[in-house]
Structure 1
Amino acid sequence: MKTTTLILLIFLSSVSFGQEKEPVPANSDTSRIKNDSLITNYVKFETNPNYKRSNAIARFFDDFDEFWVGARVNFYQGKYAYIGLGLPITWNVMCDIIPLVHIGITPGMDINISGSTPTFVPKISIEGQYFIGVARIGYQHFTDFSSRHDNRLFLEAGLTFFSYFDITYLHSFSFDGNPLNQGNSYFNLTLTLPIYKVD
């Protein structure tokens, strides 16, 4: 398909300049330069993955107004209760001080505040917000820092109030047979405050 498109561009360019035409002004070479540039850029875009990737990424991030690094605290309750801290890194579309849309990544750590065995949960998640909706997908590693480990994938979705306060439902899936006897479903409350911004 790419080869066909390139051949078509070259053909149209040659036909365009191979036909006899009325005399044209001296600046008529502009159209040929433009067509030659089109072919050159097409070849560069299709044959250079780095060129394609860098331009696509630049166009994507140009749509965002602010870059944030924040501080996050969360509390979630299911079979056991957990409290956690996180470091959200987000790109935001803003309306004054209110994020309307954002995407981001958040590393963090949770610890249980109920149950008989201290359990620590390093985690990382990717998240997206669109107006009042927010969703996350991530990885958790439950451990008692002895011999038991539980690796989990979690999915989370719910409501957000301007990205500063979220109420979500979280469901996790164990890959290790739940050796720490954890629950799979939680309700999560999340508070996020920006501590560093770049326009």
Structure 2
Amino acid sequence: MFATSLGDDGALLCPLEPWQAEEFLAHLDRGREFIGRYVGLPDIVTDLESSRSYLRSYAEKAAADTGRIYGIRTEEGLVGGVLFRTMDVAQGTAEAGCWLEPSAVGRGLVTRAARVIIDWAVEERGIHRVEWVAAAANRASIAVARRLGMTREGVLRESYLYRGERYDMEVWSVLAPEWRAARRSGAVPGPSGGVPEGPGAA
């Protein structure tokens, strides 16, 4: 399996593929309540078939160059992931996202992983604008956007209906010139390697 180091602690960023559906489901089961506070993933992946279907949908996105999904692995196994939920190479835009089970919180794993995929998107795929959309109440996700050097563009008031409640959604973004400038200045440390190859990865 292709993998990219996320640092000296042994954490890795690896592709997530349909054949890993059982492991993916077990990972979500461990963090279902925690992950599901603001992210709908646990409501989508509820059994082995839906787990396989979800990962298959991202394999198809990767083949079509419209999305990517990667898992974050530590010594404990699969603990979270990052993705490009959407990716429009012609327009030069992408929306990044993340999730993490509670055992892995506080290690900077998501920030490190997101740096790798954003750097790949900007430098290898020519993406000009990377968005990060998170519930205003999801302070951990918004902290990641800040650490990535993103700019808060605004709030979509009560735009996300989730589990019967409406959430304000914050929109953050970074543009390619800003990303490169931050990298040069050291404000956003560079990833320790290239993005791992997955289905359709360039």
What TM-score, normalized by structure 1, do the two folds share? Answer: 0.27
Higher helix share: 2
Name the one with the larger strand percent.
1
Give me the TM-score of the superposition, normalised by structure 2: 0.27
- Structure showing greater Rg: 1
